[in-house]
Amino acid sequence: MNSIDDFVTLIRDDLGLDVDMTDVDRPLDQVAGWDSLHLIALLTRLEHSTGHSLSLPAALEASSLRGLYDVAVTG
């Protein structure tokens, strides 16, 4: 995953959520279909593919997809 575009594609293809780049700065509670289950599945997926551990508390505090992406790339 090299960019936020890749991140959005991953959410579309791995979580099945119909999101695009216009959603990345939206508050998570306004992203259609999003719930905390997706956060867990997403982090599991990212850890599996990157091989390193991510901070779940930091991810839980993220307020947008971009915030989650930052957690994902910075660990």
Q: Which residues bind another protein (CB under 8 A)?
A: 12-17, 33, 35-37, 39-41, 44-45, 48, 56-57, 60
What's the min distance (Å) between Cβ of 16 and another protein? 4
> Per the structure block, which two tokens stand in for 21?
């780049």
Q: For residue 24, give every residue at least 6 positions away whose Cβ sits within 8 Å of its Cβ, in sequence order, or none.
A: 4, 7, 8, 64, 65, 66, 69
Give the single-character DSSP code of 33.
T
Q: Quick one: 39 or 72, whose CB is closer to another protein? A: 39
- CA 58, CA 23: separation in Å to the nearest integer? 20
Q: Quick one: 24 or 43, whose CB is closer to another protein? A: 43
Q: Quick one: 21 or 60, whose CB is closer to another protein? A: 60
What's the min distance (Å) between Cβ of 5 and another protein? 16
